[in-house]
Amino acid sequence: MSEIATKSPPEAPERAPSPKPRRDALWWVRKALWLVVLLVALALPLYLEAEWLKAGQYMMVGAVGAIGLTLLTGQAGQLSLAHAFFLLAGATAYTVLSGPTGDPELLGFGLDPLLALLGAVAISAVLGLAFAPVAGRLRGIYLGVASLSLVFLGLYFGQAAENLTGGTSTGRPPAEFSLFGFPFSNEGDLEILGVPIRETERVWYLFLALTVIAFLLARGAVGGRVGRAWRAVRDNEPAAAVMGVSVWRAKAGAFAVSSAYAGLAGVMTVLWFDLLKPDESEFGTYGINVSIAYLAMIIIGGLGSVPGALVGALLVNGLPQVLALYSTELGWSTGTGEHAFTPILISSFVYGAAIILVVLFEPGGLAAIGRRIAGRLSGKQRERNGS
Amino acid sequence: MTVPELSVRDVTLRFGGLYALDDVSLTVEPGSLHALIGPNGAGKSSCFNVISGLYRANEGTVTFGDHDLTRTRPHRLARMGIGRSFQNAALSPHSTVLDNVMLGRFALTHGGFLSCGLRLPWTRREERKHAERAAEICDFLGIGAELHAPVGSLPYGAVKRVDLARALAVEPSLLLLDEPAAGTNAAETAELASTIHDIRDELGISILLVEHDMGLVMGIADRVTVLDFGRVIADGPPADVQADPEVVRAYLGSENAEAG
Q: Which of A262, A240, A60 has the alpha carbon at shortest distance from A147?
A: A262
DSSP characters for A335-372? Answer: --STT---HHHHHHHHHHHHHHHHHHH-TTHHHHHHHH
In B, which residues are within 8 Å of A12 by CB distance? Answer: 136, 139-140
In B, which residues are within 8 Å of A374 by CB distance? Answer: none
Q: Give the total residue count for chain A.
A: 387
Strands B223-228 vs B231-236: parallel, antiparallel or unpaired: antiparallel
Task: Give a yes or no: residue A122 inside a domain.
Answer: yes
Q: Which of B137, B93, B194 has the alpha carbon at shortest distance from A4?
A: B137
Of B103, B113, B147, which has the smallest distance from its Cβ to A17's Cβ? B147
Task: Give a yes or no: residue A36 inside a domain.
Answer: no
Question: Is B116–A226 a contact, with Cβ atoms under 8 angstroms apart?
Answer: yes
Task: Give a yes or no: residue A170 inside a domain.
Answer: yes
Task: Give a yes or no: residue A192 inside a domain.
Answer: no
**What's the number of domains chain A is made of?**
1
In sequence order, the 6+-apart residues with CB closer than 8 A to the CB of A28 are none
DSSP characters for A69-89? Answer: HIIIIIIS------HHHHHHH
Yes or no: say if A306 and A70 are a contact pair by the CB < 8 Å rule: yes
Give the pLDDT band of residue B253 (cuts 50, 70, 90): low
- pLDDT per residue, tens digit, chain A (387 aa), is 334 444 444 444 445 567 776 677 788 888 899 999 999 999 888 888 888 899 999 999 999 999 999 999 999 999 999 999 999 999 999 999 998 888 788 887 878 899 999 999 999 999 999 998 888 888 888 999 999 999 999 888 888 888 888 877 888 888 888 888 787 877 777 777 777 777 888 899 999 999 999 999 999 999 999 999 999 999 999 999 999 999 999 999 999 999 999 999 999 999 999 888 887 777 778 888 899 999 999 999 988 999 999 999 999 988 888 888 877 766 655 555 556 667 777 777 888 888 888 888 888 888 888 888 877 777 665 555 543
Task: Give a yes or no: residue A2 inside a domain.
Answer: no
Question: Is A227–B137 a contact, with Cβ atoms under 8 angstroms apart?
Answer: no
The residues in B 167-206 lying below 8 A from A, measured between CB atoms, are 170-171, 198, 201-203
Cα–Cα distance between A313 and A300 in angstroms, integer? 9
In B, which residues are within 8 Å of A253 by CB distance? Answer: 112-113
Q: How far apart are the first and last CA of chain A?
A: 45
Q: Which of A38, A375, A342, A65 has the alpha carbon at shortest distance from A212?
A: A38
In sequence order, the 6+-apart residues with CB closer than 8 A to the CB of A42 are A205, A208
| Distance in Å, alpha carbon of B56 to nearest chain A alpha carbon | 14
Task: Give a yes or no: residue A212 inside a domain.
Answer: yes
In A, which residues are within 8 Å of B101 by CB distance? Answer: none
Task: Give a yes or no: residue A373 inside a domain.
Answer: no
Test mutation, A230, A237, A242, chain B, max B CBs within 10 A:
A242
ipTM: 0.88
CATH number of the domain within which A102 lies: 1.10.3470
Give the torsion sign (CA, B92, B95, B96, B98): negative
Taking each helix axis from N to C end, the angle separating A199-223 and A306-329, rounded to the nearest 10 degrees, works out to 150
Domains and CATH numbers, chain B: 1-81+172-260 (3.40.50.300), 91-170 (no CATH)
DSSP characters for A187-241? Answer: -S--EETTEE--HHHHHHHHHHHHHHHHHHHHHHHHHSHHHHHHHHHHH-HHHHH
B147 in A contact zone (CB under 8 Å): yes
* Residue A165 φ then ψ, to 5°: -95, -15
In sequence order, the 6+-apart residues with CB closer than 8 A to the CB of B203 are A7, A10
Which range of residues forms the domain containing residue A162? Answer: 49-178+197-364
In A, which residues are within 8 Å of B200 by CB distance? Answer: none
B224-228, long-range: CB within 8 Å, 24+ apart, which pairs? B224/B34, B224/B35, B224/B36, B224/B37, B225/B26, B225/B34, B225/B35, B225/B36, B225/B37, B226/B37, B226/B38, B226/B250, B227/B24, B227/B36, B227/B37, B227/B38, B227/B42, B227/B43, B227/B44, B227/B47, B228/B38, B228/B39, B228/B42, B228/B260
Task: Give a yes or no: residue A99 inside a domain.
Answer: yes
